[in-house]
Amino acid sequence: MELTKEAAQQELAALRTQLNGWRTAYYTKDAPVATDAEYDKQYQRLLAIEQQFPELVTPDSPTQQVGDTVLPEFTKVPHEQPMLSMGDVFSLEELAGFDERLRKTVDEDFDYNVELKIDGLSLSLVYVDGQLQQASTRGNGRIGEDVTKNVRTIKDVPQQLTRPLTLEVRGECYMPKAAFAKLNAQREADGLETFANPRNAAAGSLRQLDPHVTKQRELATFIYTLMDPAQFNVSTQDEAIRFMADLGFATNPSSERLGELSEIDAYIERYTGQREQLSYGIDGIVLKVNSLPLQAQLGATVKVPRWEIAYKFPPDEQETVVRNIEWTIGRTGVVTPTAVMDTVQLAGTQVSRATLHNPDYIAAKDIRIGDTVLLHKAGDIIPEISRVLLDKRPADSVPYPIVTKCPSCGAELVHIEDEVALRCINPQCPAQIQEQLTHFASRPAMNIDGLGPKIIAQLQEKGLVHDVADLYSLTAEDLAQLDKFKEKSIANLLQAIDNSRHNSVERLLTGLGIRHVGAKAATVLAENFGSLGALAKADEESIAAVDGVGPIIAKALVQYFAMPNTQELLQQFTTAGVNMDYTTATPAAPSDSFFAGKTIVITGKFADYSRPELSARLQALGAKVTGSVSKKTDLLVAGADAGSKLSKATTLGVTVMSADELAAKLNEN
């Protein structure tokens, strides 16, 4: 670089200000304002200038920092050994350069442990006599945040090890892709800011002041570092992973011991191709010198170990043009904008639409009709506009005008306090009612077979239903007005509606679509209060005291039942003969069942069952069904397209049962 020292000082100051701002947004606020690729590009520029002018390096430079500040709401936890960051390379040539430098430094031959780079946040777990004592975040590398209460809600973190050992392990806390998509969909429906990617969703969920919220977020972990391994006679990284798996920790089965660069290149190519199919996000692979004594010999800089490196996947971004912005209404009235674009191939799929979340998002990125934009998949899942290419913006471009009226009913849209979304609050809005009716009739709710969105739209068009209670006053004459509805179709739908009157009340509670109240919460509430009437009369304190509920759900319920419209709706249900009591009883499991007392994990697809149905049937036969494979797992039931759980079960020696073997055993019972 042809830079004078004065020019270098000026550019370094600007880069540090920009990068430190981005770091604060990413680490402290869990709300990134720049893509990983943008950050990496500017960071590499900063690093290059500092290498040319080492005398200009300052303590506040991002190259000298790990993580970010510890939030004041959490108890501080000092790390006996610093939790460092990791060096990055961005090409196979740079990776080969790292290997070459290392081999010149070390006199002995060595190999690597190669593993996937999980898109999460670092976590430390301390056990005393086999019991979980403390969990903490990385924080600034020297001091982290105590998140023990929250980590105790994560299913795959063992509360007790298989051996009464005192130790510390470290790894990654992450949010699976399915949980991330579900969380963002719920937040968008509630009018809240969505998370930018699974990593920030995981960080925001782990750093909660309410453990009930963390529990609902379905976090998971992969543990990969054993501290002070010599005391356990562990001398290599691959031995450490097996040792930790034996203790009950969740470890990633993808790690391999490799020596040649050609093998490492093949590993990268394989997982680049499989990246979309993984149930969790990855942003690269990690090379670690496999020998732990050699790791100790190589040591670390102030920020990164010298014995490991991260190869970062190149960003998959495609250029496309925004042709339109459409607005849709959810069942809670939230109005969501979606960009309609020229179709492009992105990370293996055809993409032509991307959510724009809310008006603030459109304004912040200044997205306009006709703009050429870069598109990527946030967390390998959700199509997202990275940025507008301003040099390709049409000369006659004007800022996009945000809608002020509901596109369905024409009512004025409003901003509710603490929400970023626009919301239609007209209770008679047709789009909202259609979404509410569809949710009410869905399988997790009232399970009215045959009542889908198209039929509901017809019922609305003909003025036959105006809310969910109207379903119970439909007659054969009403249904005869619908297209292609003959005698058998009419009889079937009326029977399905009548059957739903007798559901246990947790289905009705789910179907009401109360904010934050899903099927799991509805079941817990029904079990505890016994009836909808009792729940409707309960105060916030008594509802929040129910295990697994908490203050957020409690407040939403009290607000919902206080509305006059709700009281009228409940009276309509009573008049229609809809059951308001908890009638679901768990039958005693047969003691002679093959599955009784077994801890079972289900993976893959099954022709005869959905996963929830299969789980319920196995539980009825006395099994304990869990979500992750460990040494405590007695049986893995593997359907078609079984993935990493099958690999882990094989590694741990867990018995695997095929779909055919399962069918035979179920028939026996």
- Shared-domain flag, residues 60 and 186: no
Within 8 A by CB and 6+ apart from 174, the residues are 118, 119, 120, 121, 198, 199, 202, 219, 220, 221, 222, 280, 281
Contact 521, 549 (CB under 8 A): yes
CATH number at residue 336: 2.40.50.140
Whether residue 660 lies inside any domain: the answer is yes
Give the model's pLDDT for residue 161.
93
Q: In the block, which residue shows the tokens 């003025």?
A: 463
- Shared-domain flag, residues 542 and 571: yes
Q: Which of 270, 287, 312 is the last residue of a domain?
A: 312
CATH number at residue 60: 1.10.287.610
Distance of CA 116 to the CA centre of its chain: 18
Instruction: Name the phi and psi angles at 561, rounded to 5.
Output: -75, -15
Burial label for 527, CB within 10 Å (0-12, 13-18, 19+), is middle
Terminal alpha carbon distance of the chain:
75
- Shared-domain flag, residues 397 and 534: no
- Shared-domain flag, residues 445 and 543: yes
Q: Rounded to an integer, what distance in angstroms lies between the CA atom of residue 533 and that of residue 509?
A: 11
Q: Rounded to an integer, what distance in angstroms lies between the CA atom of residue 640 and that of residue 654?
A: 18
Whether residue 586 lies inside any domain: the answer is no
CA distances (Å), origin 571, targets 557, 564, 574, 576: 17, 11, 5, 9
- Shared-domain flag, residues 296 and 340: no
Whether residue 70 lies inside any domain: the answer is no
pLDDT digits (tens, 9 = 90+) for 604-647: 888 777 776 788 788 778 888 877 788 888 998 988 777 778 87
- Using alpha carbons only, what angle is made at residue 31 by residues 26 and 34, rounded to the nearest 5 degrees? 65
Whether residue 591 lies inside any domain: the answer is no
User: pTM of the full predicted structure?
Assistant: 0.58
Q: Rounded to an integer, what distance in angstroms lies between the CA atom of residue 217 and that of residue 172?
A: 16
Q: Rounded to an integer, what distance in angstroms lies between the CA atom of residue 324 and that of residue 271?
A: 35
- Shared-domain flag, residues 161 and 277: yes
Q: Rounded to an integer, what distance in angstroms lies between the CA atom of residue 294 and that of residue 299?
A: 9
Distance of CA 180 to the CA centre of its chain: 2
Whether residue 593 lies inside any domain: the answer is no
- DSSP secondary structure letters along 272-341: HHHGGGSSS-EEEEEEEESBHHHHHHH-B-SSSBTTEEEEEPPP--EEEEEEEEEEEE-TT-EEEEEEEE
pLDDT digits (tens, 9 = 90+) for 28-49: 665 666 776 777 788 888 888 8
- Shared-domain flag, residues 564 and 481: yes
CATH number at residue 267: 3.30.470.30
- Shared-domain flag, residues 201 and 259: yes
Amino acid at 143: I
Whether residue 383 lies inside any domain: the answer is yes
Query: Hey, is 667 helix, strand or coil?
Result: helix
What strands lie across the sheet with 599-603, from one edge to the other? 624-626, 599-603, 635-638, 655-658
CA distances (Å), origin 141, targets 117, 122, 602: 19, 10, 38
Query: Hey, is 663 helix, strand or coil?
Result: helix
Q: Rounded to an integer, what distance in angstroms lies between the CA atom of residue 602 and that of residue 639?
A: 8
Burial label for 555, CB within 10 Å (0-12, 13-18, 19+), is middle
CATH number at residue 634: 3.40.50.10190
- Shared-domain flag, residues 645 and 659: yes
Q: Which token pair is 202?
A: 């995981």
Q: For the chain (length 669 residues), average pLDDT per consecutive 10?
A: 80 86 70 72 84 81 67 80 88 91 91 93 94 91 89 91 94 91 80 78 81 85 95 95 94 92 93 86 92 93 88 85 92 89 82 90 93 82 86 94 90 80 80 89 90 91 90 93 89 93 93 85 89 92 84 88 86 93 67 82 80 78 79 86 79 86 80
Whether residue 582 lies inside any domain: the answer is no
Q: Rounded to an integer, what distance in angstroms lies between the CA atom of residue 611 and that of residue 629?
A: 16
Contact 329, 335 (CB under 8 A): yes
Q: Rounded to an integer, what distance in angstroms lies between the CA atom of residue 482 and that of residue 494?
A: 13
The whole domain housing 417 covers 318-421
Within 8 A by CB and 6+ apart from 173, the residues are 120, 121, 122, 123, 151, 154, 202, 206, 219, 220, 221
Give the model's pLDDT for residue 28.
63
Number of domains in the chain: 5
- DSSP secondary structure letters along 265-281: HHHHHHHHHHGGGSSS-
Side-chain-side CA neighbours of 169 within 13 Å: the count stands at: 32
Whether residue 661 lies inside any domain: the answer is yes
Give the model's pLDDT for residue 72.
65
Give the model's pLDDT for residue 249.
95
- Shortest CA distance to 508 belongs to which of 578, 569, 450, 608? 578
Contact 507, 583 (CB under 8 A): no
Q: Rounded to an integer, what distance in angstroms lies between the CA atom of residue 17 and that of residue 481?
A: 67
- Shared-domain flag, residues 437 and 416: no
Q: Rounded to an integer, what distance in angstroms lies between the CA atom of residue 62 and that of residue 13?
A: 11
Report the catalytic residues.
117
- Shortest CA distance to 363 belongs to which of 402, 322, 337? 402
Q: Rounded to an integer, what distance in angstroms lies between the CA atom of residue 162 and that of residue 91?
A: 41
- Shared-domain flag, residues 407 and 345: yes
pLDDT digits (tens, 9 = 90+) for 211-259: 877 888 889 999 999 999 999 999 999 999 999 999 999 999 899 999 9
- Shared-domain flag, residues 371 and 451: no
CA distances (Å), origin 130, targets 234, 560, 630: 18, 45, 16
